[in-house]
Structures are given as structure tokens and as C-alpha cells.
Amino acid sequence: MLERALCALAIPPLGAVSPRRPLGRQPLAMLSLLWLAAVALGAVLAPYLAPTGPMATDPSRALLPPGPGIWLGTDFLGRDVLVRLLWGGRWTLWMGVEALALAVGLGLPLGLAAGGTGGLRDMVLMRLVDAWLAFPGLLLAMAVVAILGPGLSSVAVAVGLAAAAPYARVARATAREIRAQPYIDAARAVGASPWRVILRHILPNAAPALVAFAATQLGWVLLNGAALNFLGLGVPPGTPEWGAMLAEGRAYLRDAPWAALAPGFALTLTVLAANVLGDWLGQE
């Protein structure tokens, strides 16, 4: 039953949603793609757009409100918030991608192996995943950061590991659903090995749903990275990763709301865009 629910979370059920329309006819999906492209472009072009870099401080210009030249104001050390947002796209996207890659890379084979074969292997693997899920995610992440040592990659690994368990669950659920289809029986009847069935028949059919779920997990990953920063266990000080900027800027919320609002909105828009695109990809 857990599976069924998770499946429903990941995959809009067959026939429940309109068939995938071209991007051009789904303005929301189009806008989402544009936003992500803009963030990526900003991250790539940051060295040219803002050559001074995201770390250069100037306390004499601290907490200036938005205005000409400093379109999003400055933070408590006099750094341009827009410049940091642009550069921060690099850290933020990188962390998201790294964590997701880990979650999928670990969760997908685990889930497929369990759901695609069933039996004792399924049972043991799933209890392992259960223990993993039952261990509070943030605590697992804290322990991982402590073990790997500090840094952006550790944070990414930590939240990626925590995200791998639900991903494995969803992969298993999807695989089981597909395994129940008649054509899988047919493939097995003609003597295809279990792994061949998984790779050739289950994986391709499960792909849209799994991509969609990965997209929705991006939000979870970014939020938990930010929470680690809030708890003082995150990226190196001054890193313009948006979650870190938000955690730092919130202390100045009443004097300089822009220093927190800007990364907050950037984070929300990115997660929103990933979710919308995920839905779009998950459509048949």
C-alpha cells in the first residue's frame, strides 16, 4: 500500500492527466524551463557578468537597499546580492545535481532489483530501505557531513543519501506495477533473464515516472541542504549557495529584507520549476 501511494505521488496515474502536450502549449512548463535556463546561464556567465566574484566584501556599503547598480541591494558585508545570486546558481545547481545523481544512482538499482525480482531479495532490500527511511533524514545527513568532513560535496552526499531511500521505494513500486503487466510475463515466458527483463522492459517503461519523481526530489534536496546550513553544518562560510545565503540573510530580515528574500525567492522558483517540469515529463 505504501508502494501504491508512493507511485501515485510520483506518477500521475495512467490516463488521469492529459497527454503530454508540446512545451509551447504549456505556458507554465515553458516558463519553468526558461527560469532554469536563466539560472544555468547566469551561473555559467557569472565570471563575465560579475567579475569581482561573490566574496568581495565592502563593509562601508553594508545593507544598502536595492537601487540603481545594486538591483537587489547588498548584504551585511556589503556584497551585491544579485552578484551572489548569479554566482550562487553554480553552487546551488551543482549541489542539487550531485545529490540527485547520488539518490538516483543508489536508489534506482536498489529499487529495480527489489521490485523487478521480488522474493527474499525484495524483502531484505526493502527492510534495509525501511531502516534507512526510519532513521531521521536530517540526522543521517548530519552524521554524514561529520564523517566526510565539511564542504559543499559532503552536504550534497548527505542529502543525496537521505533522498536515496524514498527514491528506491518509488523505483520498486513502479517496477512492481510494470512487472504485473502481461507483456512482462510474455518476456519471461520466452526465457528472458530477470536482469534483462528489468533493463529492457521495466526500466524504459518506468523512466518517465522516475524522472518525474527525481525532479520533485530536487526541492527536498535543496531544502535539506539549507537546513544543514541553518544548523551550522553546511558549506564553507560565505559560499553563495542560496540556502546558505538565506540562512545567513534571515538574521538581518528586519534591517535588510532583500538579503533574505532574494535567495528565498530564487530557491522557491527553482524548486517550483523543477516540479512543473517533472509533472510535464511524467505525462504520458
Minimum gap (Å) between residue 200 Cβ and other proteins: 28
Nearest one of 80, 77, 55 to 67, comparing CA atoms: 80
- Give burial (CB, 10 Å; 0-12/13-18/19+) of 237: exposed
Minimum gap (Å) between residue 120 Cβ and other proteins: 11
Output 198 or 215, the one with its CB closest to other proteins. Answer: 215
151 binds other proteins (CB under 8 A): yes
Give the number of C-alpha atoms closer than 13 A to the C-alpha of residue 166, restricted to the C-beta side.
19
**Those residues with Cβ within 8 angstroms of residue 94's Cβ, 6 or more apart along the chain or in another chain:** 152, 156
Nearest one of 237, 251, 220, 235 to 138, comparing CA atoms: 220
Q: What is the DSSP code (8-state) at residue 18?
A: P
- The single residue among 81, 164, 202, 260 that binds other proteins, judged by CB under 8 A, is 260
Pull the grid cell for residue 281: 515529463
192 binds other proteins (CB under 8 A): no
275 binds other proteins (CB under 8 A): yes
252 binds other proteins (CB under 8 A): yes
211 binds other proteins (CB under 8 A): no
Output 29 or 197, the one with its CB closest to other proteins. Answer: 29
224 binds other proteins (CB under 8 A): yes
Q: Looking at residues 13 to 52 of the shown chain, list those that interact with other proteins (rule: CB under 8 A).
A: 13, 15-18, 28
